[in-house]
Amino acid sequence: MAEGHVISCHTLEHWNQLMQNSKDSKNLVVVDFTASWCGPCRIISPVFAEFAKKIPNVLFLKVDVDELAAVAKEWSIEAMPTFIFLKDGHLVDKVVGARKEDLHQTILKYAADTAPASASL
């Protein structure tokens, strides 16, 4: 698993592979559903990348809703940006909008479940 950066998914095959790998790893997965034309998405993108650097036990993914519309539909994405939080392939939470503090708190809430006991976030 690539740690410390955001992985962009451009194909359904890549998405499915990452989902399978994440189920096997038991780590938290945070998916940023974004669009190239979305202003708030562009604003939150560097923040999301910074979280990826600081919280290495979490898999950070980015999906363009226009590029992978089937994935966006599968997860009922209706607004951008939407961040979904997955554990063992199941949705555990969602943050809609470019809300940095809500996003950060939600990542920490679920990342704590997968972090080694000695890790401090």
Q: Which of 6, 28, 41, 103 is catalytic?
A: 41
In this structure, what DSSP letter does residue 120 have?
A: -
By the 8 A CB rule, do 48 and 60 touch?
yes
Backbone phi, psi, residue 14, to 5°: -65, -45
Query: Does 9 qualify as catalytic in the annotation?
Result: no
Q: Which of 9, 28, 31, 38 is catalytic?
A: 38
DSSP assignment of 63-96: EETTTSHHHHHHTT--SSSEEEEEETTEEEEEEE
By the 8 A CB rule, do 71 and 12 touch?
yes
Which residues participate in catalysis according to the annotation? 38, 41
